[in-house]
Amino acid sequence: MDIGFIGLGHLGRAIAGRLIDCEHTLTVWNRSAGKTEGMKAAVAMSPAEVARKSEFIHLCLFDSPAVHTVFTQDNGLLSTDLQGKIIVDHTTNHFRDVLAFHELCARAGAIYLEAPVLGSVVPATQGALTVLVSGKKEGFTRAEPVLAQIGKQLFHLEAPGLATKMKLINNLALGTIMATLAETIAFGENVGIDKAMVIDILNVGGGQSLVLNAKKNKLLTEDFSPHFSNGLIYKDLHCLQDLAYEQQQPLFTGAVTKELFARTMAEGMESLDFSSIYKLFQRR
- Render each residue's pLDDT in the chain as its tens digit; 284 residues: 999 999 999 999 999 999 999 999 999 999 887 888 889 999 999 999 999 999 999 999 999 999 999 999 999 999 999 999 999 999 999 999 999 999 999 999 999 999 999 999 999 999 999 999 999 999 999 999 999 999 999 999 999 999 999 999 999 999 999 999 999 999 999 999 999 999 999 999 999 999 999 999 999 999 999 999 999 999 999 999 999 999 999 999 999 999 999 999 999 999 999 999 999 999 87
Say how many CA atoms lie within 13 Å of 86 toward its Cβ.
24
Report the domain count for the chain: 2
Residue 6 and residue 114 in one domain: yes
Q: How much is the pLDDT for 92? A: 98
Strand 129-133, strand 117-118: pairing: antiparallel
Residues 93 and 195 in one domain: no
The CATH number covering residue 203 comes to 1.10.1040.10
Name the β-bridge partners of 198. none
Asked whether the beta carbons of 67 and 31 are under 8 A apart, the reply is no
How far apart CA 124 and CA 146 sit, in angstroms, is 13
The last residue of a domain, from among 124, 158, 192:
158
Domain boundary among 158, 185, 218: 158
Closest CA to 62 of 228, 218, 269: 228
Per-position DSSP letters for 61-117, written without gaps between them: -SSHHHHHHHHHSTT-GGGS--TT-EEEE-S---TTHHHHHHHHHHHTT-EEEE--E
Identity at 247, one-letter amino acid code: Q
Contact 86, 110 (CB under 8 A): yes
- Rounded CA-CA distance 261/10 in Å is 20
Residue 87 β-bridge partners: 57, 112
SS3 per residue for 162-192? HHHHHHHHHHHHHHHHHHHHHHHHHHHHHCC
Instruction: Tell which of 158, 174, 200 closes a domain.
Output: 158
Q: Range of 53's domain?
A: 2-158
Confidence at residue 283, expressed as pLDDT on a 0 to 100 scale: 83
CATH number for 47: 3.40.50.720
According to the model, what pLDDT value does residue 11 have? 97
Shared domain check, 82 and 57: yes
